[in-house]
Amino acid sequence: MQFNTLINFRQQVYESFRRAPDALFEVADALLTDPAARTFAELSLSPRFTRRWPSLYAALKDGQIERPDLRRTLAQFVPAPSAGQWLLLGLDGTAVARPESPTAADRTYLYAHNLPHSTKPVTVGWQFSSLVVLPEPTSSWTYVLDTERIASTTNAALVGATQLQAVVPLLPAPACLVADRHYGSATFIKHTAEIACAKLLRIPRNRVFYRPAPAHSGKRGAPKKDGTPFRCRDARSHGKPTCTWEGADEQGHKIEVAAWTPLHVKSCRAVTFTVIRVTRHGATGKKRDPRVSWFIWISAALLPLAQVWPTYRRRYGHEHGLRFDKQDLLWMEPRVRTPEQFQRWTDLVGIVRDELVLARPEVEALRQPWDSRTRAATPRQVRRTMSRIVGRLGTPVPPPRPRGKSPGRARGTKFRRAPHYPVVYKGAP
């Protein structure tokens, strides 16, 4: 039964907590079973949190999670894809804004979305890279495999490549990665070349690629290392496509797909790939809905051109999942001082999300009177029933032992002002 799967999942998660395991696990259970909590401190009022409220922040401060063990557990219980289908992965970075937290270390300047045109789209905070399994059909039911902070000394492409290297060998089925154009860089291509994972990566329209080098002419001098250039913006450099496809999207609008292969980038000539152009005649042509989109496909087998756009569209479920984490699972709420503490909280949020995914087939969602009865259940509706389910599952956490009253601070104790850290400016790569 699925309940046995949930019990095993919870036990293995608990075993990956090395320090303060009881407090960490009860914080996760409080978050899982208390949808009424609107702040981090209110989680201490949950019946599943049997400790006193200071243990909330103490768990994030003193706790320790063995992240390799946690990765193995999350990969072991990943929902299996349909027969003959990829395990479709999504990779994206998201910002955690902390503009008024000078005591938080290693903050960087981040791009801020959806601001008025008269406002600078810049904020200050931390950035996290999230690797998830994308659901079918597109929804907020993403399954978290790993979420790691992007430190000021690295970038999203390197962190994402590290996550793939650690997680893909643990997966039970062949995987395919779908990612936005931030990951279509030469850096990401080079660092993920040896990973057994197909990749469909969106790229900006100003990219330049190269065809294979021509045969040596026999003349003096070094032979050419690259062939003629392929400029996405310049149709004259495209030549005849390797293959094409025409059809219609879900709304009946015409869609055209053309592919050119093999191509490469100069900094990683050993990796060849297919460049794909998707033209959607029903698009508005705006920045968020372009008429022409470019992709690269990295795999030994060519993806059927009719599946390029539907496969990429499933990436939007990643954004729906992140919105649920921020609005319902209080991901942005705790005001912790160090990025390591926020990393522990992020791992707990991912664990809670995965428990909801595993419990979904076995529980009846609790719908409000205004919720639709014909649509599929949402994570929010399933979470409303988890308090009853967790009571049946039990907990590996032993009851807390009273420790009496604290003696308090020693007389004459002096406290230093918390150190302040400057914002780290990351220059161009």
Within a domain: residue 14? yes
Task: Find out whether 152 and 108 touch, Cβ atoms under 8 Å.
Answer: yes
Say whether the peptide bond before residue 262 is cis (omega within 30 degrees of 0): yes
Within a domain: residue 378? yes
pLDDT at position 410 is 86
Burial code of 405-415, b = ≥16 C-beta within 10 A, e = fewer? Answer: eeeeeeeeeee
Q: How far apart are CA 369 and CA 364, in angstroms?
A: 15
Within a domain: residue 34? yes
Q: What is the DSSP letter of 223?
A: P
pLDDT at position 118 is 67
Angle at 81 between CA 79 and CA 86, to 5 degrees: 130
Q: Which residues contact 205 (CB under 8 A, 6 or more apart)?
A: 232, 233, 292, 294
Within a domain: residue 7? yes
Rounded to two decimals, what is the model's pTM? Answer: 0.92
CA 376, 381, 386, 392 torsion-angle sign: negative
Range(s) of the domain holding residue 352: 2-70+337-393
Within a domain: residue 321? no
Within a domain: residue 102? no
pLDDT at position 356 is 96
pLDDT at position 2 is 63
Q: How many domains does the chain have?
A: 1
pLDDT at position 428 is 62
Task: Find out whether 408 and 327 touch, Cβ atoms under 8 Å.
Answer: no
Within a domain: residue 33? yes
Q: Which residues of the chain have pLDDT under 50?
A: 1
Within a domain: residue 246? no
pLDDT at position 41 is 93
pLDDT at position 224 is 86
